[in-house]
Amino acid sequence: MVAVAAAATPIRVSVVGVGVVGEWLLRAIDRHRERLRDEYSLELSIVAVANRDHGFVYREGGIEIADVLALKAAGASIGELERTERWPTALAGLAATETDILVEVTQSPSFDGEPGLSHLRHALRHGVSVATSNKWPVALAGVELSDLAGQHDAGFRAESTVMSGTPLLAALSAGLEGAAPLRLRGVLNATVNYVCTRMAERASYADALAEAQQAGLAERDPTADVDGLDSVAKLMVLSALVFGVQLEIEDVGRRGVSALTEAGIEAAFAGGRRLREVATIDPGRRRLAVEASAVARGDPLFEVEGTKNAVSLEVDPLGEVAISGPGAGPELAGQGVFSDLIALARDRAERARWSA
Ligand SMILES: NC(=O)c1ccc[n+]([C@@H]2O[C@H](COP(=O)([O-])OP(=O)(O)OC[C@H]3O[C@@H](n4cnc5c(N)ncnc54)[C@H](OP(=O)(O)O)[C@@H]3O)[C@@H](O)[C@H]2O)c1
C-alpha cells in the first residue's frame, strides 16, 4: 500500500517585530519548511512583517523570508520589499489585512505593555491566534488575553515569556487541566542566577555582573534584572496563566540582589547556603514576592546554578512538579515562539480540515 501524505494546510502568519527573536524565527521557518510540510502538514506563509522604524509591510500571497533577511543583513528597510502594501503602524496594518496567526515579538515596557498589548488585544478580538515572547503585555493582562482567546476561539501561547524556550507554561496550564495549583517557587532570571552563582565562587557583585554583561547575558542597563523587576513580570505571567489570577506590579514584594548589603550577602552564604532570587506565589499565606534570599541544601532551588532557571509547583493532587532548564538566550526565545507557532498552526489546520 502506498501512503498518501495529507495536503499541507496553508496558514497565514504576520510577524510584528523583526528584531533578534523575530529574525531567528523567520530563519527557523525557512530552514524547516520541508519538515513543516512533511511532518506537520503545514504550509506557513508569512503575509506580513513589521517593525517600529518601517511600519507594517504586507503581501497577500506571502513574503519571501530570504528577501526579508537579505534586507536586514544589508541594513536596508523592510519597506523596500517589492509588490507589498504598507501601513505606518502594525496596528493599522493588522486592522486592514487578514491573517491566521500573529507572532508578537516587540519590546514593550512595564508601565503599559505597549505596543504589544494593543497588538495582542486586536488580534485576539478578531479571532487571530497569537504567539508572543513579549512578557509585559502578558504580565499586565494575561487573564484578559486568555479570556479574549477563549471568547473568540483563538489560540494564545506565550511560552518564551518565562524561562525562554524551556517548555513550562503549557505543561503547568493545559498539562495540569483538572488539577489545582497550590503554591509556586522559582528562579526566573538567568542573569541574576549567574551573578549569584559567581558570587558563591567569591567573585564580587560588580565583577559577576560585569562578566554577565560581557557574556551577553545582561542588558547594557541591567537594572530590571538586578532589582527584581524582570522576575516580577515572570511571576505575574505565571500567576495569570497558571493560577488564573491577574496581579499588578505593586502586589508583588520585591528585593533584588542589587538591594543586598555586603553583610546581607555574607549572611546569605553562611552555613553552606546559596544566594538565589526566589519568586514565590503562595495564595494560602497571601505571599507574593521576588526576593534575593539564602536557600539551604535540600531546597530544590539550591541546585539551580548559572543561567539555569527552575519552577517548582505544588499541585493538588499530584504533589510537587518541578521543571528546570536554560533560562536565557535569543535562540531559546526563538525556539519557544517557533514551538508555539507550530502548535497554533496545527490547531488552525485541524479546525480548517473539520470545517471543510
Ligand atoms: N532576545 C532574547 O533573548 C529574549 C528572550 C526572551 C524574551 N524576549 C522578548 O522577546 C521580545 C523580542 O526580543 P528581541 O530581542 O527580538 O528584541 P529586539 O531585537 O529589540 O526587537 C524588537 C523588535 O520590535 C520592533 N518594534 C518595536 N516597537 C514596535 C512597534 N510599535 N511596531 C512594530 N514593531 C515594533 C522593533 O523595531 P525596530 O527595529 O524598528 O525598532 C524590533 O524589530 C521582547 O519582548 C523580549 O523581551 C527576548
pLDDT in tens, 256-311: 999 998 888 888 888 899 999 999 999 999 999 999 999 999 999 999 999 999 99
CATH number for the segment(s) 174-327: 3.30.360.10
Q: Please give the pLDDT value at position 3.
A: 47
Q: How confident is the model at residue 2 (pLDDT cuts 50, 70, 90)?
A: very low
**Strand duo 101-104 + 129-132: pairing:** parallel
Q: How far apart are the CA of 321 and the centre of ligand 1, in A?
A: 32
CA–CA distance from 319 to each of 45, 196, 316 (Å)?
Answer: 43, 28, 6
Shortest CA distance to 161 belongs to which of 56, 320, 311?
311
Ligand 1 atom nearest the C-alpha of 136 is 45
Mutation pick for ligand 1 pocket among 23, 25, 49, 52 (CB with most ligand atoms within 8 Å): 52
pTM metric for this prediction: 0.96
Q: How far apart are the CA of 304 and the centre of ligand 1, in A?
A: 28
Q: Which of 100-109, 137-146, 158-167, 215-224 has the lowest mean pLDDT?
A: 215-224
User: What is the arithmetic mean of pLDDT over 18-35?
Assistant: 97
Q: Would the pLDDT of 128 be above 70?
A: yes
Q: Please give the pLDDT value at position 1.
A: 46
Q: Please give the pLDDT value at position 173.
A: 95
Q: For residue 174, give the 3-state DSSP assignment.
A: helix
pLDDT in tens, 153-176: 999 999 999 998 899 999 999 999
**9-164+331-355 CATH fold:** Rossmann fold (3.40.50)
Show me where the domains of the chain are located: 9-164+331-355, 174-327
Does residue 234 carry a catalytic annotation? yes
Q: Please give the pLDDT value at position 215.
A: 86
Question: How far apart are alpha carbons 13 and 155 in whole angstroms?
Answer: 13
Q: Please give the pLDDT value at position 5.
A: 54
Q: Please give the pLDDT value at position 216.
A: 83
pLDDT in tens, 198-232: 998 889 999 999 999 888 887 778 999 999 999 99
Q: How far apart are the CA of 20 and the centre of ligand 1, in A?
A: 7
Cβ–Cβ < 8 Å for 78, 57: yes
Which residues line ligand 1 at a C-beta cut-off of 6 Å? 16-22, 50-53, 90, 105-107, 115, 133-135, 160, 164, 329-330, 333
pLDDT in tens, 86-97: 999 999 999 999
